[in-house]
Homo-oligomer: A and B are copies of this chain.
Amino acid sequence: MAGNSFGTLFKLTTFGESHGEAIGGIIDGCPAGLELDLNLVQRELERRKPGQSAIVTQRKEPDMVKFLSGIFEGKTTGTPIGFVIENANQKSGDYSHIKDVYRPSHADYTYDQKYGNRDYRGGGRSSARETACRVAAGAVAKQLLHGMTFTAYTAAVGEISLNKKPGELNFGEIENNPVRCPDSETAGKMEAYIKEIRSQGDTVGGVVECIIGNVPAGLGEPVFDKLHARLGQAMLSINAVKGFEYGSGFSGSAMKGSQHNDLFNEDGSTRTNFSGGVQGGISNGMEITFRVAFKPVATLMQKQETINSEGEKIEMQGKGRHDPCVVPRAVAIVEAMAALVMADFYLLNKTSKI
């Protein structure tokens, strides 16, 4: 398997499966001299971890990160930052019921096709468990970028959408409700809907919006590594993501240029921000705004028809504790990946001019 690294200069490499002993990662390229608050790292992991509220999976997993290198007397030394997170919840249980089963809309079939074998005790490497490493690394990246702000929130759960503009939202509200929606009334509806869906043994998708603030102009590398192209890759690499748009996004494709162009103020800021803070792949100093679509979780507490590795039809039903909707926990992952992208561009940009 290739592709377990992300970034050019601020580079995260991760390892680990859902049912192995531990997951972990290495951050290579974090500059020396950065004071790191490890409590902030742990706090971000709390936002992603299972069991945090009544509407997420009730699996218990402490998700304690242990840093093994790269930090001395509270500061980064410039050497690689290695860390591990134990899989406390993995059990040497009985997996014979899923060993040969290809669960619908899971990666069981594709892993078998690609690798010829797989760790059948769960999602293995395709489990979203891996994203805990991203959140840990993203929390380091955020500290490198202190001043920039990363604000993700739930903008839709199923068909329940936040029908307000970013300016009308109360971001202080986000962590006040288990859905992480910046509008308490909508949050209540979303929460009720998730509970209803769960009671049906079903699941539902949703949308996360994210705003990156206080971004200096000049970040991003034109052509293949445009700021929004790397953000897009980052978001699409998160489990269950089906789409990415920034600024005006898909709705911008229905507009005319005379509506869509962002006219300048005299200070270089723009009156509107259909651009989403990026022109030609480079940040323009405005807020970077983007949206990420998540599909409904594939594991249902309902009977489903499927096949086994012999191609025989069988019937199966999910067991255990799964999320009815990933969006509330995904908010932390979206912010983390955004921070990884921006940290990389921040470092790259130090070499753009003599």
Contact = CB atoms under 8 A, between A and B. Distances in A.
A205 B258 contact: no
Given A300-B261, A352-B115, A217 B110 contact: yes
Contacts of A253: 156, 158, 205-207, 242-243, 293-295
Interface string A328-344: 00000000000000000
A49 to B, nearest CB: 20
Contacts of A219: 114
A176 interface: no
User: Which residue of A4, A102, A107 has the most chain B CB atoms within 10 A of its CB atom?
Assistant: A4
B260 A205 contact: yes
A231 to B, nearest CB: 8
Copies in the complex: 4
A65 interface: no
Contact of A205 (B20, B203, B235, B254): B254
Interface in A208-259: 217-226, 228-237, 242-250, 252-259
In which size bucket is the chain A interface?
35 or more
A165 interface: no
A306 B269 CA distance: 11
Interface in A87-136: 102, 104-107, 109-111, 113-119, 124-126, 130
A144 interface: yes
A244 B250 CA distance: 8
Nearest to A204: B256
A296 B353 contact: no
9 contacts: A1-B28, A4-B28, A22-B82, A31-B351, A102-B264, A114-B282, A159-B254, A203-B257, A350-B351
